[in-house]
Chain A
Amino acid sequence: MNTAYVSALDVTAGLVLFAAVMTLWRRGVRTIVSILGVQGLSLSAVALVLAIHEHDTALLVTGGLVLVLKGIVIPGLLLRASRLDPKSRETRPLVNVPASLVAAAVLIVLSYVVSARITSLAPSDATRLVPLGMATILVGYFMLVTRRRAVSKIVGLILVDNGIGLVAYLLTSGVPFIVELGSSIDVLLVVVVLQFLMVSMGRHSDVDVLTERRELRD
């Protein structure tokens, strides 16, 4: 039972980070969004595994919520948004793909270094995985900085949020349900607002490449 719990936790948490790396690897915007969906599902799986192991009903509900919101609703909305330009690809990211991947490797090692102190505070099967969450946050932020397409930027933002979620589950075995609800809804709101923005920007001019836009301050 315990080994099954440990490997399930390891694999699901590993998948969250793996999905984050995959978003840097692939170019098709729709593919990236699908990977985000996989990440949402893995994140909810982490919560569910923890919930079952700790017999924590609130966490169970949170996991379900994450499953629905981050696994299905948000990726669905983003897929709809990217349907405006179905062939949209991350053709020329600010940092090219191989360099991004090497950077991701460095970020993963870095998060292992910086998390060592946090992990050593309360070593347990869950807390030792904190570096993965930290790495997801860093990789997400990297994505946010270096990708040009609006959808990719949103994906980067959600990666950061998922990473924070992962760290929170692993460290505290679940944030209070209401906090998770609040943050998820925030993210949802951001997605919806950005989707509106993108649609209007898309009407305005055909591109959603953000680097060319310098007049966004007013």
Chain B
Amino acid sequence: MTWYLVALSLGALAAIAGATLPRRVRVPVAAALGALGCAVSLVAAVGDLIDGRTILVHSDRLLPFSGVSLTLDPLAALFVVLSSLVGVAACLYLVGYAHGPSASRSAVSIFMVFVLALSVVPLASNIVSFMFAWELMALSSLLLIVTDQAQRPKARSAALWYAAMTQAGAVSITLGLLLCASRAPGQSFVDIAASSSTLSATTRTAAFVLVLLGFASKAGAVPLHVWLPKAHPEAPSPVSALMSSAMVSMGVYGIVRVGGDLLHGGTVGWWVAVAALGIVSAVYGALHATTASDFKRLLAFSTIDIMGLSLIGVGAAGVLEDSGMHADATLAMMAALLLLVAHAAFKGALFLGAGSVERATGTRNLDRLGGLVHTMPTTSVVVALSAGAIMAVPTLSGFSSEWLLLQGLLHGFTDTSTPVVIVMLLGVVALALTGGLTAVAFVKAFGIGFLGQPRSAGARDSREVSRWMGWGSALLVLPSLVLGLVPGLVVSLINRAADTGLGGVATTPVSTGAGLALSQLRGAIEPAALLGALVGVMVVLALAARTLGQRRARRVDAWGCGREEQTPRMQYTATSFAEPLQRVFADVLRPQMDVEVTHAVESRYFQQSLTYHHRIADVVEVRAYRPVFGVVHRVGVLARRLQNGSIHRYLAFGFVALLVVVVVLA
């Protein structure tokens, strides 16, 4: 734990450095301290995961009521690993990224506070310290969204949405945790876990529903997701990376911690609800990701998709545990956790890559990008590999985690109870639906954004971003490769975390090795060998080409179907790429399209100009949130009638209130 305290102090120092140092050295020093802090906690957490220890630290002085209490068990350590990993990369990236408003005192120091808060949340082990860290995380990220709002007109509305949803969520979580602790002697998580079985079933369910609402909204589960595709794209890119990889994971952490650890699993209904949230989110997120043309919005929707998949894993683990299939439950929980770690790495890299693209080209609209593979080679490789990971290309991390999830669900089919089978069946269907859609989304992101010819002046004149930004994002590609090629090395660590999340009974459903092999020998993958085979075949092909006497390819004009000249505007854009799917799923997406045609003066048969607008609103927002806003607004307008500014009326209100009090008390 000493190392953690060192790491946390380094983080705090970084925040102070950001707030005090002069402009020239502020960013490098603060970022170096922050990155160092994250690196220390990363190494320490990995060490503790390997040892499988549980360590407690308690101090009465730092916070009111019950003091600060930090506990490091394997589950917490895994999430510390996750957030410190992204933290290191984001700090390095910040060195190249921060300038102007994002390098101001407040921006740098709040950024460091955010990084710090992300690694404290999983450690906190009583209600006050947990909610303190949670709020610190929420508020610092909220402030960071508005740091450079002058350049981003949408940032203010996004921040408003985020503020409202996150605070409502925090209230819900606090109430839920207090309900959990209603019979406990103290408010530490140990006390709650010890006493929660004495609570009545109704109380426990109410508590779980309350925390689930808060945590699911943080994890971006549909229908509580509406803030996410607004806030994540509008934040500065290193902040988006942290939010979309580490912060959303804390939502899932909360569900596992409270539902699995503190409340000991509860009833099957809870987990069916979690899985249902996951299924809806996965499909909805994947669908919107395929049709989004804003690069960061696409990534944000894909976060909803992956969080959905991991909630499916958590839900499946819950129902399996409930019906006594502990080994399979552990498998599903491990899949969910592995997916979270893998997602943190590749989504972090993608958001940092998107930030580099935005910095280099001045836009993140895919319709205006293109050809970046020629001008920004490092960023292109980072985005390509991370996109490959998210598409579950074998030998990259997305594949090993999704394979584990599929195995968990497949094994669950052997159970006979209906809720288990239904969760497995629908989970598998959701996974199958999202697989192809994710491929479309990321082929679009990479193929339109990075290949072809530039579609705008910004993309044409782009140059590779600074070395720090390149390194920061490239760092997050490593986990995708490691988790993809040798998942067996980390699987025992994840196994410990999953055991804690399921109540502490140790089982090893996956045997250790380089690849993944299920202990009952019903499935195995060896990605490293697979990569060897793939590379081997490619080398053979390349050698064969050489012996055939192949020289460099001659450059020629592309086939233009008889046209002499082809302009970049003739290429497919992101919008046109997704148009067929948008049309197929029009019933769900409800796209709005307008075509304006201006005819030539001479004849109606010739067109002078043609404008095409299209917009895909978030159906959940339009159908579920807007009507509520309408009602609230109307109530607000009515309430304004009470206030007309007349002092007589206000005095009269006071008088009436006094009368009411007197009458009621009498």
Contacts and interface: CB of A to CB of B under 8 A. Distances in A.
Would A and B touch once assembled, by the CB under 8 A criterion?
yes
Interface string B181-194: 00000000000000
A109 B425 contact: yes
Contacts of B426: 109
B587 interface: yes
A113 B422 contact: yes
B584 A98 contact: yes
A41 to B, nearest CB: 30
Interface string A95-113: 0101100000100010011
A210 B473 CA distance: 61
A112 to B, nearest CB: 8
Q: DSSP majority for the B interface?
A: helix
B425 A116 contact: no
Contacts of B421: 112
- What band does the interface of chain A fall in when counting residues whose beta carbon is under 8 Å from B? under 10
A99 B587 CA distance: 9
A109 B429 CA distance: 11
A113 B418 contact: yes
Interface in A94-152: 96, 98-99, 105, 109, 112-113, 116
A109 B587 contact: no
Contacts of B587: 96, 99
Interface in B111-138: none
A52 B11 CA distance: 79
Contact of B418 (A96, A98, A105, A116): A116
Interface string B400-442: 0000000000000000001001100110010000000000000
A98 to B, nearest CB: 7
A93 to B, nearest CB: 13
A109 B422 contact: yes
Can you list the 6 inter-chain pairs with the closest CB atoms, starting with the nearest? A116-B418, A113-B418, A113-B422, A99-B587, A109-B425, A109-B422
A150 to B, nearest CB: 26
Interface in B639-663: none
Nearest to B417: A116
Contacts of B418: 113, 116
Nearest to B433: A102
A113 B272 CA distance: 14
Contacts of A96: 587
A97 to B, nearest CB: 12
Contacts of A98: 584
A109 B421 CA distance: 10
Nearest to A117: B418
B295 to A, nearest CB: 29
Nearest to A114: B418
Nearest to B584: A98
B581 to A, nearest CB: 12
Nearest to A109: B425
B610 to A, nearest CB: 29
Given A109-B422, A112-B422, 10 more contacts: A96-B587, A98-B584, A99-B587, A105-B429, A109-B425, A109-B426, A112-B421, A113-B418, A113-B422, A116-B418
Contacts of B422: 109, 112-113
Contacts of A99: 587
Contacts of A112: 421-422
Nearest to B422: A113
Nearest to B426: A109
12 contacts: A96-B587, A98-B584, A99-B587, A105-B429, A109-B422, A109-B425, A109-B426, A112-B421, A112-B422, A113-B418, A113-B422, A116-B418
Nearest to A115: B418
Interface in B558-612: 584, 587
A109 B279 CA distance: 15
Nearest to A105: B429
Contacts of B584: 98
A127 to B, nearest CB: 15
B573 to A, nearest CB: 26
A96 B585 CA distance: 11
Contacts of B425: 109
A105 to B, nearest CB: 8
B433 to A, nearest CB: 10
A114 to B, nearest CB: 9
Contacts of A109: 422, 425-426
A116 B422 CA distance: 11
Nearest to B418: A116
A99 B425 CA distance: 19
Contacts of A105: 429
A105 B426 CA distance: 11
A113 B418 CA distance: 7
Q: Which one of B418, B421, B426, B584 has the highest number of Cβ atoms from chain A below 10 Å of its Cβ?
A: B418
Interface string A177-200: 000000000000000000000000
Interface in B507-551: none
